[in-house]
Amino acid sequence: MTVQGCEIRTLAGLSPTDRADAARLFWAAFRGKLGRLLGPDAQALVLLERAMRPDHALVVVAPGGRVVGVAGFRSPVGSFLALEWRHLRAVYGRFGGVWRSAALHWMGRDVDNARFLVDGLAVAEGWRGRGLGSALIEALAAEARARGYARLRLDVADQNDRARALYERLGFDPAGHQRLGLAAPLFGMSGSTVMERRL
Ligand SMILES: CC(C)(COP(=O)(O)OP(=O)(O)OC[C@H]1O[C@@H](n2cnc3c(N)ncnc32)[C@H](O)[C@@H]1OP(=O)(O)O)[C@@H](O)C(=O)NCCC(=O)NCCS
């Protein structure tokens, strides 16, 4: 699939450089939300590169070959970001791994049998507002349909009004809310809205 001269394809099969680009792009987009949990930057990038499953991500490749957009998803066999204990311990040490692992558990890493789950969506800053994010959502919808799902689900942070407006325009409706409670300051948000779209 192509959009604006860019190609949308799976990250699987792309080079380690492309995977590093995808990790950097993801971190630049989510650093504000995940910085306290996964920072400092250098360690976060090592973690993301270790934990990323390329077969669980679609990416936008720009005409020069650079990865400028990434959309992860979860399936019954795994998720784009497999933030498992072994990766956390390897990157942050035993103590640093323990509290991060507990916080991630609190945040919830559920897999939904009825809905195809989006596991992170980001477009590089200079490439936003050109329809790439929308195209990634449509590509995820096509992937979900091909896997037999009837609905697509994503979670949007309470403060992310622009992303929420985009999802509403693309046919998503609110389907619940998750509060972070005591973990809210760690993530810099009070909670997130679950949104879903019929396929
Ligand atoms: C949300 C995001 C993936 C959209 O990608 P995109 O390629 O800009 O999306 P499109 O061009 O298809 O649509 C543009 C719309 O996206 C929405 N949007 C949300 N955040 C935006 C941002 N930081 N910059 C530009 N548009 C943004 C707006 O509604 C915009 O429409 P508008 O200009 O009329 O307000 C991208 O902005 C991004 O990576 N943001 C940071 C990470 C993030 O918030 N991800 C979503 C988590 S649920």
What is the distance in A from the centroid of ligand 1 to the CA of 136? Answer: 11
What is the distance in A from the centroid of ligand 1 to the CA of 162? Answer: 6
What is the distance in A from the centroid of ligand 1 to the CA of 159? Answer: 13
What is the distance in A from the centroid of ligand 1 to the CA of 19? Answer: 22
CATH class of residue range 2-150: alpha beta
- The minimum-distance atom of ligand 1 relative to the CA of 132 is 7
- The per-residue pLDDT for 163 is 96
The verdict on the CB of residue 195 being under 6 Å from ligand 1 is: no
Q: Is 126 exposed, middle or buried (0-12, 13-18, 19+ CB in 10 A)?
A: exposed
**Confidence band for 119, pLDDT divided at 50, 70 and 90:** very high
Separation of alpha carbons 195 and 3, rounded Å: 25
Closest CA to 191 of 162, 154, 157: 157
Separation of alpha carbons 109 and 120, rounded Å: 12
**Which residues have C-beta within 8 Å of that of residue 51, sequence separation ≥ 6?**
81, 82, 83, 84, 87
Better-predicted residue by pLDDT, 145 or 33: 145
Question: Which residue out of 118, 162, 187 has the highest number of ligand 1 atoms within 8 Å of its CB and is therefore the one to mutate?
Answer: 162
- pLDDT tens column, 67-104: 999 999 998 888 999 899 999 999 999 999 999 998 88
- The per-residue pLDDT for 113 is 72
What is the distance in A from the centroid of ligand 1 to the CA of 157? Answer: 13
Please give the sequence-ordered ranges of beta strands (E in DSSP) within 33-189, or none if there are none: 57-61, 67-75, 78-79, 115-123, 151-157, 173-179
* pLDDT exceeds 90 at position 7: yes
Cis peptide before 40 (omega within 30 of 0): yes
* pTM across the whole model: 0.94
**C-alpha distances in Å from residue 96, one per residue of 90, 100, 102:** 10, 6, 10
**Could you give the angle at the alpha carbon of 82 between the alpha carbons of 126 and 31, nearest 5°?**
35
